[in-house]
Structure formats: structure tokens, C-alpha cells
Structure 1
Amino acid sequence: MDTARIQVKAGDGGNGCISFRREKYVPYGGPDGGDGGNGGNVLFVATLGMSTLIDLRHNPRQVAENGGHGIGKRRDGADGADCVVKVPAGTIIRNLDTAEVLADLTEPDETVVVARGGIGGKGNACFKSSIFQAPRVAEKGEPGEEREISLEVKLIADIGLVGYPNAGKSTLLARTSAATPKIAAYPFTTLRPNLGVVRINREQNFVIADIPGLIEGAHKGAGLGHRFLRHIERTKMLIHVIDLSATDGRDPIQDYEQLNLELGHYNELLTKLPQIIALNKIDMPDAEANLERVQKYFGNRKVFPISAVTGEGVNPLMHQAYRSLQYLETRARKEAETAIVFEQELPSEPRARFELAETQDGFVVSGEEPRRAVLMTHMENEQALILLYRKLKKMGVINALERAGAVEGDTIQIDEFEFTYSPRSIQSR
């Protein structure tokens, strides 16, 4: 199970407390309401040893703990516990509403926050000042983020083995690594991708993936290819295994061309991956008749006649694969370093804190900071509305409305809340 759809809900922030100190012989104790605790986050962690998303299929809703509410004597609420979700390394996380990729967890123990917990509201003790000595106002906790996400696992391998069913990919994987895939003399023996580690020597090794056999129409779902083509996208290069013995009357050259067409139909980038050509089954009687014709087809391009069963020609193939990987990784590092330097040289544009959009009745204010200020305000509390006005003025929202031509009585909408605008106050509707 390498795909799943789940809902995640971060914890809500706790409410701030309105409280006043009440003690004998202390007639004017003043405000002492504590702050609310922060809500817990929902985190995803790439974990070694996991290969499927079956646990999330049975638990499609992941919820973090809410923050505790503040109480008197300046005691703050407890922060909510995080919800930690373990997923296989190689998991891509997308927001279902926007199709945005939230994270691509390729490294073990790599962690990402997919839903942030709400901030706890401030208690009335925070609003005390020389001119506001008895504030009867506190903030509500900010709601935690909630979203629906999709998960997709793609194997992390350096090299992918591709080829028609029964071309000998599983036999080659078993020959070159300690993997034990199912091997039989009929097509579609491999029903799921298999990984193996190829050791050139003690310190030189790479990971190779046996992708289940692809056939014509695989990009449309024919055979097993549509389910497993995604795993090839992770690889740095491919070893294209061709059945030189022409099993079932197939032509090796046509097999090669058709499989490359399927890769291109699924994702054009797959056709740009470097390929090493392995002409398998040279130990079979019919292979010799095809070898010269196939070598002539590839011209000056280096090909590797091999027998995955006997091991003939396999070592040169694996050594070439390792050398090619080293070259590709070195080139990728240089390109990444160049890109980092280029990004550092580009001037960064200041990000706007909010945006205004004029409507028929007034204006719509969008932005994370104004939205948070509104969500954390008790609308039925007059003092809270005064504080909200001060926050919006400090953010520059009030001045921006004046410059945009807002007049008294206009409707101002922030998130789901609407207000009647006045240059000196805000009145909730």
C-alpha cells in the first residue's frame, strides 16, 4: 500500500484567562490571568524499516492535543502534545486541496510539520498598563491547522532495473545482491518492487530496485506498470534489461523501443535518465543469433551481454553502473552548489503582511496576521474589540484602508468575520 489519503488536525491553542487577584488585605490585587498553552503540531517522520502506508489506511485521521487554558495566579496552560506520524523514507506529502507538495521525505529521520498547532491566547495579566489597570479581556486560543493530505511512497534507489516481464530482472537482482525476490519461468513473477544493495567492495556500494515488468500500455494501467512506474522517478539512472533470447517470439529491439515509449508517456523526464543496456540470457540457444543484430542497432553505444543465471558479464556491468553513479552524483553536487550561490545573490523581496481587495460593500483583508488577530478575539467583549483595533493599526491595516479610500460604515471582512469600519474603532456585526 504505497498511497493513502488522510486528514490531519493540529491542536487548538488554549484560551487566555480573565482573573483578578483576590486575597485578604490585598484590596487591589490586579489582573493575574494566565496564558493558554500552544496546540500540538502534526509531524511526519521518515522511518527506516517501514515500506508501506497500511497503518495510515486504518487510521485516516491524525489529531494533535489541544493546549490547556490559562488559569488564575498567572498560571499558564500546558502545551498540547505533538502527533508524530511515522512514514517510510521516500514519502511525498501533498495538500489535496491545492496539489502543493508539502514535503518530500527522502532521508531517514527527516521530519516535517504538516499542520501547525494554534498559539495560546494571552491572559488579562498581559494587557495591564498604567492606563489600563483592570483589563477584563483575554485572547482566545488560535485554532490549529486542519487539512486533507495525500501520501505517496516512491522507492529510494540509485538504479532501477526495467524491462519486459520475464527479462531476468529479479535474477539479476538476486545475483548481484542479498535480495531474495521470487523467481519463476513465467511473466509477472514480481508483484511488488524489490530493493537490494550491490557491493562493489567494502566501501563502495549502491542500492538497486527491481521494478515489476512493464508492458505496452503500462502508462494507462496495463499489466502492473501503472502502479509501479512512480518508483522509477526516484532513481538516478536505469539498467535496461533486454531478453536477448526473444522469449515468446518477441523481438529484443522492439521491446527496447516500446518500453522507452511507455516511460516517456508516463513522465517525459524518465526518458532523460541515463540507461545502461544489459543484453541478458546470452547463455540461451537463441541469444547468439540476436546478439550481432542488436549490437549493430546500438552502434557505438556500449552494451553489456550478460547471463544473470550464470553470472557471465555481470561484474563488468555492475562496475560500470557504479562508475556512472559516481559521475552523476559529482555533477549533481556541483549543480546544487552553483544553484545555492545563485540564490544567495538574488535580492529577496519583502513579503507583504496582508492584502486588500475592494468589494461592492467595502474591503476584504487577507493575510495570516490579520486572520490570527480576528480568530483570537472575543467579539462580544467591547474591550477585546478595542485591542483588535490597536492590533490592526499596528499591522498597518487601518492606515492601508484609509489610503484605499475606506469610509465610515464600509464593511470590512477578515476571514469569516465582518466589521463596520470607523477610522477610530471597529464594531462587530
Structure 2
Amino acid sequence: MFVDRTKIYVKGGDGGNGIVAFRREKYVPLGGPDGGDGGRGGDVILKVDQGLRTLLDFRYQQHIRADRGDHGKGSSKHGKGASDTVVKVPPGTQVRDAETEALLADLTEEGETFVVAKGGRGGRGNSRFASSADKAPKYAEKGEPGEERWVWLELKVIADVGLVGFPNAGKSTFLSRVSAARPKVADYPFTTLAPNLGVVDVEGADPFVIADIPGLITGAHQGVGLGHDFLRHVERTRLLVHIVDAAGVDGRDPVDDYHQINDELRLYDERLSRLTQVVAANKTDLPQAEDGLNRLRRELGEDNVFPISAATGAGVRELLYRVSALLAELPQESQMTEDVAVFTPGPDEEETVRIERENDTFTLHGPRLEKLVAMTDFDNEDAVKRFQRLFRLWGHEDALKDAGAKNGDTVRIRDVEFTFWQEQDDE
């Protein structure tokens, strides 16, 4: 089963917790803090494997989580970091954020990797908080949560040449004729429901990869007849071979068919209509093909139309030599033009806090503040005091007051709620 688009949830491993511990040895009556740090959580990494051709496996493994790091130990022993979780994907896989649709990665080369969800860092043990003012801190950090997100995986077949044309034009028969691929061939529309790849290796020319793109119909650019699912696979190709039924077996007009397919390509992506295109007038072994072939030649020029019969093989070799020669002249770069979204929050973005109010409840959102909450052990009184001190130092208490918060109101950050209370200034 060919699957070329699927949605998955990924989560990096949480960091291990730091630990509160003190040195306890004979003859060392004043042993200081020696709690170790937690280990780093594992990353979720996507890696290209040339042996894969579909995203089918993700239909059965939709949630992918990396392991968390080990917790710290006494004697300043740090927890072990977790191993990364490496997930194999086929070449041509694009990764998009499910919420924003931003393109995060475009994975095409064997062994290419992308960290789709980073693991959290380990929490610091109490030995890391010792200072001249607090020589025996009784608190430590919890591990940082790993990144989590929903992403779309989209597969765009990578091939040098794409076969396009209406259903039943003979694309699958042509592919089986020129390569070792054995696509399903039958005399009814939409025989091909998934792209088929084949390697063309003709004597006297460099081999190339060719993809049979499922037949397009009018309205494909709007998604009609699975149009979007089919058209995305054309985007990677450097050259198109347009198979036209010159005999008009299904009562179609070959010249109209040629223009309709090109209209669909242009409406889906203007760049596709500018790709180098070779027109193959197929089914010339049938008597009624002569009129259609002559009309195509008058419309497009005699040198631009190659008469072939995919069923008998007539004219196919000449067409392949022409395609090979054109590929040698075309650049090897990927046809991908969309920018990959690379966002690294700076200090301002990290520290910015957004306040939402609903009656007497104030919800705060902000990367640095939410991370502080996640890594604070609210069951530890000293850790809570540290949180209160930083909350006030970072200006969030004053920001809440400016937003209308009064003593007794509820403040929510992530899944933690507490009561707002600010000492009143003496008049």
C-alpha cells in the first residue's frame, strides 16, 4: 500500500531530574551539597533511508516518543543521557508543522537527518545552586520537558522524469516497456492510484529515473480526482514526458487533452508549466491515430511530437534518446523552491510573556516562564521560594498588576495555578 501523506505526533524525551543530596561521610561534619544533574532527554530524529518508498509504517505508529534522561544521584553523579530515537523516512519526505503548515525540513539525500523534536536538558542538582548566600540549598530542578508537536509528513517522489497525461493515455504501459517496473495495467480509468518508479537504462545513454504519475483530470489543481495527491509528485521532476492518446480511443481529442493537462499543471504551480516537456503521441499502432498525430504536429511542431506505441515498442527508443539528451543539458538541482522555516527565538522572544484574562483568572504564556514552571518542584518549599523570587525579579508580578490582577485572583501557567498576592505599599 502506497501512503504519501500522514500526520504524526512527536515528543522529545524529558530531561532527568536533578537531585537534592548532601555529602555524608565520617570525619566530614559539614559536608556540602552534592546532588547531581539529570541526564538529557533523547531527540526524535528523522533519517532518510533509500530503501523506503512509502510512509505506510506511520499509519501504525502515529505517536513517537524519545526516552527521558536518568535522574541525578548523590556524590555529584550526573544521570545518563537518553539515546536518540531515529525514525527512517523515504527520500523526498517533507516535514510540515501541523499548526502553521510551515515547511520544517525537506529530506532528499541518503542519510540526511532532521531533529523534529529536541529532548529536554537535565535538571540541575542542588550542588549547582550553592553560593556564599546559600551554602546548603535544599532544592533542585526538575528535568526540562522535551519538545512536542504534531507534524505532517508528505512524500514527493524523486525522479528525473515524470509521466503525465489523462487516465488511459498509456503511461503505465510505457513505463513497463522502458524499465523493469511492473505497474498495474488495465483498460479502465485510474488503474494507477500511486506513483510507480522505474529506472531507464537504454544502450548509448545515461540511465535515469522515471515516475508514472497517476492520471490527471480536469480540475486536478483543485483536488478533483485526488489531483493534489497526484500533482505533488510532479514537483521534483526535471523534465516531463506528456503521453497523449493520439488515437482518441475513449472519444477524447488529443489536442484538447494536451492543453487541458498543461492548464492543470499551470494552475497548480506556474513553475510546472515551465518544465521542459516532451510530447509522446501514443497508440500510433491503431489506424485512427494518424489524424490525431497530424493535428498534434500542426499544433506543436513536427520536431516536438514523438509518435510511439507503448504496446509494440515502436518509436520508444528514439523518444528515450531525446529525453536522455535533454536531461544532460538540464541542471541537477532540486526543483524545490519553497523556503524551509528556520526559527531560533532570540532573547526577546524567549522572555516575552503574553497575559490572557478571563474574569478573575489570568493565564501567562511565555517560553522562559513556562520552562521555569515545568522545571520547578512545587512540592519543595525552597524551590517554590526560588520560583517566587524569579517571578518577581523578571517583572511578571508588576505586569499582572498592570493587567488588572488583584490579590486573591487566580494565576495559571501551564498546568499550575496559584493565587496572586502582592504586598501593599504603605501610604
TM-score (norm 2): 0.82
Question: Residue 406 of structure 2 contacts residue 421 of structure 2 at CA under 8 Å; is this kept in 1?
Answer: yes
- Residue 78 of structure 1 is matched in structure 2 by 80
Pick from 275, 279, 282 the counterpart of residue 280 of structure 1.
Answer: 282
Q: Give the drift of 1:24.
A: 1.7
Q: Percent same amino acid at aligned positions?
A: 50
**Any idea what the Cα deviations from partners look like across 1:108-139, whole Å, max 9, x if unmatched?**
22211111111110001111233321111100
Structure 2 SS opposite 1:249: coil
- Residue 11 of structure 2 is matched in structure 1 by 9
Question: Residue 43 of structure 1 contacts residue 112 of structure 1 at CA under 8 Å; is this kept in 2?
Answer: yes
Matched letter for residue 246 of structure 2 = L
Structure 2 SS opposite 1:374: helix
**In the alignment, does 2:183 pair up with 1:181?**
yes
**Any idea what the Cα deviations from partners look like across 1:153-208, whole Å, max 9, x if unmatched?**
22111211011222221222223222222334444333322101123568822211
Q: Give the drift of 1:385.
A: 4.8
- Residue 372 of structure 1 is matched in structure 2 by 371
**Any idea what the Cα deviations from partners look like across 1:282-310, whole Å, max 9, x if unmatched?**
23212222222211111477222223334
- Residue 105 of structure 2 is matched in structure 1 by 103
Structure 1 SS opposite 2:309: coil
Q: Give the drift of 1:352.
A: 4.5
**In the alignment, does 2:315 pair up with 1:318?**
no
Do the aligned partners of residues 40 and 287 (structure 1) sit closer, same or farther apart at CA in structure 2, a change above 3 Å counting? Answer: same
Residues 288-303 of structure 1 mapped to structure 2, 5 A cutoff: 288-299=290-301, 302-303=304-305
Do the aligned partners of residues 179 and 407 (structure 1) sit closer, same or farther apart at CA in structure 2, a change above 3 Å counting? Answer: closer
Do the aligned partners of residues 99 and 399 (structure 1) sit closer, same or farther apart at CA in structure 2, a change above 3 Å counting? Answer: closer
- Residue 160 of structure 1 is matched in structure 2 by 162
- Residue 351 of structure 2 is matched in structure 1 by 354
Residues 404-415 of structure 1 mapped to structure 2, 5 A cutoff: none
Q: Distance in 2 between matches of 1:84 and 1:322?
A: 37
- Residue 343 of structure 2 is matched in structure 1 by none
Structure 1 SS opposite 2:150: strand
Do the aligned partners of residues 191 and 99 (structure 1) sit closer, same or farther apart at CA in structure 2, a change above 3 Å counting? Answer: closer
Question: Residue 242 of structure 1 contacts residue 256 of structure 1 at CA under 8 Å; is this kept in 2?
Answer: yes
Q: Distance in 2 between matches of 1:167 and 1:303?
A: 15
Q: Distance in 1 between matches of 2:187 and 2:405?
A: 82
Do the aligned partners of residues 327 and 409 (structure 1) sit closer, same or farther apart at CA in structure 2, a change above 3 Å counting? Answer: farther
Q: Give the drift of 1:18.
A: 0.2
Do the aligned partners of residues 255 and 408 (structure 1) sit closer, same or farther apart at CA in structure 2, a change above 3 Å counting? Answer: closer
Structure 2 SS opposite 1:275: strand
Q: Distance in 2 between matches of 1:71 and 1:335?
A: 49
Q: Distance in 2 between matches of 1:325 and 1:422?
A: 72
Do the aligned partners of residues 367 and 285 (structure 1) sit closer, same or farther apart at CA in structure 2, a change above 3 Å counting? Answer: same
- Residue 342 of structure 2 is matched in structure 1 by none
Question: Residue 11 of structure 1 contacts residue 80 of structure 1 at CA under 8 Å; is this kept in 2?
Answer: yes
Q: Distance in 2 between matches of 1:166 and 1:307?
A: 13
Residues 17-416 of structure 1 mapped to structure 2, 5 A cutoff: 17-199=19-201, 204-219=206-221, 223=225, 225-299=227-301, 302-329=304-331, 332=333, 352-357=349-354, 367-385=366-384, 387-388=386-387, 397-398=394-395
Q: Distance in 1 between matches of 2:274 and 2:397?
A: 50
Q: Distance in 1 between matches of 2:165 and 2:383?
A: 68
Q: Distance in 1 between matches of 2:8 and 2:334?
A: 35
- Residue 426 of structure 1 is matched in structure 2 by none
Structure 2 SS opposite 1:8: strand
**Any idea what the Cα deviations from partners look like across 1:22-58, whole Å, max 9, x if unmatched?**
1222111111111111111212222122222222212
Matched letter for residue 35 of structure 2 = G
Question: Residue 236 of structure 2 contacts residue 336 of structure 2 at CA under 8 Å; is this kept in 1?
Answer: no
Do the aligned partners of residues 194 and 334 (structure 1) sit closer, same or farther apart at CA in structure 2, a change above 3 Å counting? Answer: closer
Matched letter for residue 107 of structure 1 = E
Structure 2 SS opposite 1:35: coil
Q: Give the drift of 1:92.
A: 2.0
Q: Give the drift of 1:253.
A: 0.6
- What do you get for the CA RMSD once the two structures are aligned? 3.6
Question: Residue 212 of structure 1 contacts residue 224 of structure 1 at CA under 8 Å; is this kept in 2?
Answer: no
Question: Residue 38 of structure 2 contacts residue 79 of structure 2 at CA under 8 Å; is this kept in 1?
Answer: yes
Matched letter for residue 280 of structure 2 = A
Q: Distance in 1 between matches of 2:165 and 2:46?
A: 34
Question: Residue 175 of structure 2 contacts residue 212 of structure 2 at CA under 8 Å; is this kept in 1?
Answer: yes
Question: Residue 391 of structure 2 contacts residue 397 of structure 2 at CA under 8 Å; is this kept in 1?
Answer: no
Q: Distance in 2 between matches of 1:416 and 1:82?
A: 27
**Which moves more between the two structures, 278-287 or 114-123?**
278-287
Do the aligned partners of residues 368 and 92 (structure 1) sit closer, same or farther apart at CA in structure 2, a change above 3 Å counting? Answer: same
Q: Distance in 2 between matches of 1:174 and 1:371?
A: 57
Q: Distance in 2 between matches of 1:367 and 1:303?
A: 61
Matched letter for residue 354 of structure 1 = E
Q: Give the drift of 1:140.
A: 0.8
Q: Distance in 2 between matches of 1:310 and 1:109?
A: 41
Q: Distance in 2 between matches of 1:327 and 1:319?
A: 13
Aligned length: 409
Do the aligned partners of residues 391 and 106 (structure 1) sit closer, same or farther apart at CA in structure 2, a change above 3 Å counting? Answer: farther
**Any idea what the Cα deviations from partners look like across 1:295-339, whole Å, max 9, x if unmatched?**
111147722222333433333322332333344316x58999xx9
Matched letter for residue 213 of structure 1 = G
Do the aligned partners of residues 248 and 364 (structure 1) sit closer, same or farther apart at CA in structure 2, a change above 3 Å counting? Answer: closer
Matched letter for residue 177 of structure 2 = R
Do the aligned partners of residues 323 and 2 (structure 1) sit closer, same or farther apart at CA in structure 2, a change above 3 Å counting? Answer: same
Matched letter for residue 142 of structure 1 = E
Q: Which runs of 5 or more structure 1 residues have no equivalent in the other structure?
A: 340-348, 424-429
Q: Distance in 2 between matches of 1:333 and 1:151?
A: 19
Question: Residue 354 of structure 1 contacts residue 366 of structure 1 at CA under 8 Å; is this kept in 2?
Answer: no
Q: Which runs of 5 or more structure 2 residues have no equivalent in the other structure?
A: 340-345
